Structure 1
Amino acid sequence: MTQAYVVRFVGGPLDGRVDSHAKPPESPKQTVTHVHLHGGPKIVHHYDLQYAVEYGCEYRLRVED
């Protein structure tokens, strides 16, 4: 049985989200942008790629200065 490649999101509105893929992407995105548009002003969050040896990779919320 092949173990899935797991992508986790840490922080912000996507905190706790887990995506599972059959294999790692050949060139993963270094940054994922999430735009929140639900009935109010547009709110943009950026998640930066970090590798996690145990399961795949994770995207951590970027702390804006």
Structure 2
Amino acid sequence: MSPQTYLARFVGGPLDGRWETFSAPAGAPLQTVTHVYLHGGPKILHHYDLSYSDEQGWEYRLRAAQ
């Protein structure tokens, strides 16, 4: 079986509106993506969790701050 290409949109945070391309099943997407922002001060981490809905397709949604 050949892999199929999928698109996942980033929702929220500094990556909002960007798209990630992945292939499955051979290259299954990461369930969580961590974005590290370095700006000359302390580093800032943002975590995005993968989800799927029939209306929006694949999305990496910004995890709420704890």
Same fold per superposition (TM over 0.5): yes
Aligned residues: 60
Q: Which runs of 4+ in 1 moved over 4 A?
A: none
The share of aligned pairs that are identical, in percent, is 63
Say what the alpha-carbon RMSD is for the aligned residues: 2.0
> CA shift at 1:54, angstroms?
5.1
TM-score by length of structure 1 reads 0.74
- The CA distance in 1 between the partners of 2:19 and 2:6, in whole Å, is 10
Q: TM-score under structure 2 normalisation?
A: 0.73
Cα offset for 1:18? Answer: 1.6
Q: What is the aligned partner in structure 2 of residue 14 from structure 1?
A: 15
Structure 2, unaligned runs of 5 or more: none
Unaligned runs of 5+ in 1: none
Give the whole-Å Cα distance in 2 for the aligned partners of 1:39 and 1:59: 26
